[in-house]
Chains A and B, each alone.
Chain A
Amino acid sequence: MTWPLFWSNLANAISLGSLYSLIAIGYTMVYGILRLVNFAHADLLMVAAYAALYGILIFRLPFVISVLLAIVLTAGVGVLIERRAYRPLRDSPRITAMISAIGVSFLLENLGLVLFTGRPKSFPVPGFLGASTDIAGVRVSNITFVIIFVTAILLLIVLYVINKTKTGIAMRALARDFDTARLMGVDVDSVISLTFALGSALAAVGGVMWALKFPQINPLMGMMPGLKCFIAAVFGGIGNVVGAVVGGFLLGVAEIMLVAFLPSVSGYRDAFAFVILIATLLFRPTGLLGEKIGEKV
């Protein structure tokens, strides 16, 4: 492989890794608090991408306003899902809530198929983002820089919220010990709603940037990235935001590099993440940065 090709693969890998990280944060926050694999999280990517698309094409809104509205809408959908489909099951076995999450995920996908049809739509990429820049003979598309920049900013914001604000402390308290936190006066419902709003907003940003990077969107676009991002969260150590980011990055980079160096296995690209998942769970179930939590009997 030539060096320029390697660098362009690396740029591609880092931008994919950033997107995985952004989406994985939502999984890890929800899992940390509710011990729930929020299958529907993946489909919020699709909700955000279509909301932005319709804002631009149907309502003729400027790109930025349309994207902001899409983020707000997606956050609202995330909160609504929690309230209707997960909150009534908070005291049920965890698997029951997961079945509900699978149901919501399929509901969103099929609603998407009904409303937007299964035919892929092309996402209107603004001219500046569609162009690319030459760096020392390597062509890197501008969206790559935007993705990395936006991910970095959002990650800092999330870390600030989780570590410095009162809500963040409440989130961490809930993640550590749900019942004690409640007894200490944490308003469980509103903190969980906020968690979903934050996670869904990040998924929305991820979804829009995904649509900018891969401008053919369809109602099932979130399915595979969603599963992979959950895997990234497990790989990094579930419940740990920094772990999710590290896991997302490593998964994205590994996936692109695997295909770049071993083109013969490109047919198995989507299987790679699952191999990582199984290996992680077998050899280091807490993930790279996770803490060991003993099972309570």
Chain B
Amino acid sequence: MSTHANKGTLRIIVVAAVMVLLLAWAQGDLRFIGIGPWDAYFVRILNLAAINTILALSLNLVNGFTGQFSLGHAGFMAVGAYTTSLLVMTPQMKKVVFFMEPMFEPLDRICIPFLPALLVGGVVSCVFGILVGIPALRLKGDYLAIATLGFAEIIRLILQNVRRLTNGALGLKGIPQVVNLWWTFGAGVAVFLFIRGFVRSSFGRALIAIRDNETAAELMGIDVFKHKLLAFAISSFVTGIGGGLMASLLTTIDPAMFKFPLTFQILLTVVLGGMGSLSGSVIAAFIVTFMTEFLRVVDEPLQLGAYTIHVPGLRMVIFSALLVIVVVFYPRGLMGNKELTWESLSSPVSRLLRRRVAS
């Protein structure tokens, strides 16, 4: 028993150490021994992948584990992104950006470090989540989906119209680029462990019970609405954090960024990874992010002998077709509701080894 536990701890330590070394190498923190950093473009994709992981995990908590279909993610991301950005931007930069109309009084002088700003972004997003959730979560299924989509659109319209707070349709620029791989992967791992812990707790089991049969769950004494709202609040907190990280990585944001296609991409990730599988969301987030970047090739002009084929936008066609194909032919996605474990990883390998030995 104790050797088993030791083996598990050892594995975690090895994985963590390898990850830290790789991140240090990629980020350029191992320059003193003459290696790294990796190509800046590749590092940027890794950052995006980690942020998309955070977003997918938070959507999966609501859609996959609680079975409440929310399409409002872009709105909560926007809240997190704007809150964090407005708190970390320097007063000078704010003066430059808000050239049309000056900013609200005390906020134009406030400038706090990134970590508290990120957390405040998460909290504000969480408050919005609760405010949206209280009316919306009384609805079910497709009505909930449309209502959350509506709330996200309302949030976006508010951001676009309250010019003295958000600079309107022009958006914000000059957001300090604080995030690096340590931030994104650190937050990614923290969110993963947090949501995994939550899903495995009695709360999480109640959520799964609600997903599988709401009436039965209620009869078993679960306060359905409270649990749904809690899941929704946690999800919007995490989404807000994801939005804040995204804003700091991109350094510019505007309301048009946070339209429905953004939610679509997160939804694609969750469906591809498997609704109800955290490791599936992680894998799918990396696949989708890397595909997004590598499929830029198909948007470039293609030289075929004497002909030049140039179809900009083909990338998104591929993504939308992918969603339909996955849903129609592989509705369980990559992982279904299973998790990737050491056993599931090692069993095919050990089976292969055993076959080798036998032959």
Chain A residues packing against B (C-beta within 8 Å): 35-37, 84-85, 88-89, 92, 94-96, 98-100, 102-104, 106-107, 109-111, 113-114, 118, 223, 227, 230-231, 234, 267-268, 270-271, 273-275, 277-278, 281-282, 285, 297
A contact residues around B331 at 8 Å (CB): 89, 92, 96
Q: Confirm or deny: B143 has a beta carbon within 8 angstroms of a beta carbon on chain A.
A: yes
How many angstroms between the C-alpha atoms of A94 and B67 in the bound complex?
12
How far is the CB of A149 from the nearest CB of chain B, in Å? 31
Q: Which residue of the partner chain, among B141, B153, B314, contacts A271 with CB atoms under 8 Å?
A: B153
Residues on A with beta carbons closer than 8 Å to the beta carbon of B215: 297
B314 and A114 contacting across the interface, CB-CB below 8 Å: yes
Contacts of B138 in A (CB 8 A): 281-282
Chain B, residue nearest A108 (CB): B320
Query: Are the CB atoms of B328 and A85 closer together than 8 Å?
Result: yes
B264 with A102: CB separation less than 8 A: yes
Query: Is there an interface contact between A281 and B142, defined as CB atoms closer than 8 Å?
Result: no
The 7 closest A-B pairs by CB, nearest first: A274-B150, A103-B323, A106-B320, A107-B320, A103-B324, A267-B161, A110-B316
Knowing A114-B312, A114-B313, the reply to whether A277 touches B150 (Cβ < 8 A) is yes
Give the residue name and chain of the A residue nearest to B316 (CB). A110
Neighbour of B271 across the interface among A85, A99, A274, CB < 8 A: A99
Complex partner residue of B327 from A103, A227, A274, A275, CB under 8 angstroms: A103
Chain B hits for A113, CB < 8 A:
313, 316
Can you list 6 contacts pairing A with B, beta carbon distance less than 8 Å?
Answer: A36-B142, A37-B145, A95-B142, A102-B267, A103-B324, A107-B324
Residues of B within 8 A of A95 (CB): 69, 141-142, 145
Nearest neighbor of B219 in chain A, beta-carbon distance: A297
User: A residues within 8 A CB of B264?
Assistant: 102, 106
The residue from B146, B323, B327 contacting A231, defined by CB atoms under 8 A apart: B146
List 20 additional contacts besides A100-B324, A268-B158, A297-B215; criterion CB under 8 Å. A35-B142, A85-B324, A88-B328, A89-B331, A95-B142, A95-B145, A102-B267, A106-B316, A106-B323, A107-B321, A110-B316, A110-B317, A114-B311, A267-B157, A268-B161, A270-B153, A271-B157, A274-B147, A274-B150, A274-B153
A227 and B146 alpha carbons, distance in the complex (Å): 8
Contact A227 B149 (CB under 8 A): yes
Contact of A270 among B157, B260, B320, B323 (CB under 8 A): B157
Q: Are A99 and B267 in contact (CB under 8 A)?
A: yes
Chain A, Cβ-Cβ closest to B132: A278
Q: Does B136 lie at the interface of the complex (its beta carbon under 8 Å from any beta carbon of A)?
A: yes
User: How many residues on B have C-beta within 8 angstroms of the other chain's C-beta atoms?
Assistant: 41
CB nearest to B270 among chain A residues: A99
With A and B bound together, what is the CA distance between A79 and B307 in angstroms?
36
When chains A and B are docked, how far (Å) is the Cα of A274 from the Cα of B158?
A: 13
User: Nearest chain A CB to B300's CB is how many angstroms away?
Assistant: 14
Shortest distance from the beta carbon of A121 to any chain B beta carbon, whole Å: 16
Smallest beta-carbon distance B52→chain A, Å: 17
Closest chain-B Cβ to A93's Cβ sits at a distance in Å of: 9
Q: Is B151 an interface residue (CB 8 A)?
A: yes
Which residues in A have their C-beta under 8 angstroms from that of B189?
none
Please tell me if B193 contacts chain A, counting CB pairs below 8 Å. Answer: no
In the bound complex, how far is the Cα of B138 from the Cα of A76, in angstroms?
38
Cβ of B18 < 8 Å from any Cβ of A? no
How far is A292 from B329 in the complex, measured between Cα atoms in Å? Answer: 35
Partner of B139, one of A104, A231, A281: A281
Nearest residue (CB) in A for B138 is: A282
Chain A residues within 8 Å of B321, by CB:
103, 107
Q: Are A100 and B314 in contact (CB under 8 A)?
A: no
Tell me, yes or no, whether B154 is within 8 Å of chain A by CB.
yes
Query: Taking CB as reference atom, which chain B residue is nearest A269?
Result: B157
Question: Which residues in B have their C-beta under 8 angstroms from that of A273?
Answer: 150
Q: Are A89 and B328 in touch, CB under 8 angstroms?
A: yes
Cα-based distance from A285 to B143 in the complex (angstroms): 10
Chain B residues, Cβ within 8 Å of A37: 142, 145-146
B135 within 8 A of A: yes
Whether A98 pairs with B316 at a CB distance below 8 angstroms is no
A223 to B153, CA, bound (A): 12
Contact of B186 with A by CB under 8 A: no
B252: interface (CB < 8 Å): no
Q: Does B261 contact A (CB under 8 A)?
A: yes
Contacts of B177 in A (CB 8 A): none
Give the distance in Å from the alpha carbon of A270 to the alpha carbon of B259 in the complex. 13
> A99 near B327 (CB under 8 angstroms)?
yes
Q: Which residues of B contact A230 (CB under 8 A)?
A: 146
Give bound CA distance, A267 to B166, whole Å.
14
The CA-CA distance from A85 to B326 in the complex, in Å, is: 11
Q: A282 vs B151: C-alpha distance in the bound complex, in angstroms?
A: 14
Q: How far is the CA of A107 from the CA of B316 in the complex (A)?
A: 8
A282 to B144 alpha-carbon distance, docked (Å): 11
- Shortest CB-to-CB span from A229 to chain B, Å, is 12
Chain A residues, Cβ within 8 Å of B319: 106, 110
Of chain B, the residue at the smallest CB distance from A114 is B313
Asked if B160 is an interface residue, CB under 8 A from chain A, the answer is yes
C-alpha spacing A110/B138, complex, angstroms = 34
Task: Give A107 to B169 CA distance when docked, in angstroms.
Answer: 27
By a CB distance below 8 angstroms, the chain A residues around B146 are 37, 227, 230-231, 234, 277
On chain B, the residues within 8 Å of A94 by CB distance are: 141-142
